[in-house]
Every structure is written in C-alpha cells, then in structure tokens.
Amino acid sequence: RGLPFTRIFAWEAIRHDPAQIFGPMPDRVVDAISYYNVAANATPGARHNPWRTLRQVATPADLVVVKLDIDTPRVEEALLDQILEDRGLCELIDELYYEE
C-alpha cells in the first residue's frame, strides 16, 4: 500500500540497543534506513542537523516527507524556522508532519 520509502533518515537521542531498533524491522526497511542514535542538532550546518543531510541527498525532483517529532520544543521550533526561512530547503520538502 502507498508509496515505498527508498530512504529513511532517523535521529534518536535516547540510547537504544541496536537489536531493539533493527531486530523487528523488515529487511526492506533496514536496507533503506540511516539511523543515528544521537540527538538531532538545530544548529545550521551541524553534522547532525537533519537539513544539512537533506540538502546533501535530496533533489527537488524527489518526493520528500518529513516527520518532525523531537520532543524538545526549542529544537523543533528552530528546525521549523530554518525551513520557513530557507526557500531552497522548502523546495526540497513535499510533505511536513509536525505535532504541536
């Protein structure tokens, strides 16, 4: 059903055993995921800023879906502001899911 994800990027600040994360995943998801067990960083250009990674791997022709759920309001708001202030970044994102 739906569109298959060909690439998934995930950041998780809480430490997890890799077996917990990858054990229940189907192979097709394991093959597509880049999982970073570190906090996403809201500093523009930082190594673990999701938008730095997105700019490196996505093109405007790609279908990009972002789910922003960091549970740290100041980080989420800073990342949202970066999207709103950067037209090039906006043009890479087709769908954005965010929970207030």
**Residue ranges of domains in the chain:** 8-98
Plot region of 19 (φ>0 → left; ψ -120 to 50 → alpha; else → beta):
alpha
What is the pTM assigned to this prediction? 0.88
Going by C-alpha positions, the residue among 77, 60, 10 that lies closest to residue 38 is 10
Residue 71: predicted pLDDT: 87
* Euclidean distance between CA atoms 46 and 44, whole angstroms: 6
Residue 2, pLDDT above cutoff 90: no
The confidence band for 3, taking pLDDT boundaries of 50, 70 and 90, is confident
Write out pLDDT tens, residues 56-73. Answer: 999 999 999 999 999 899
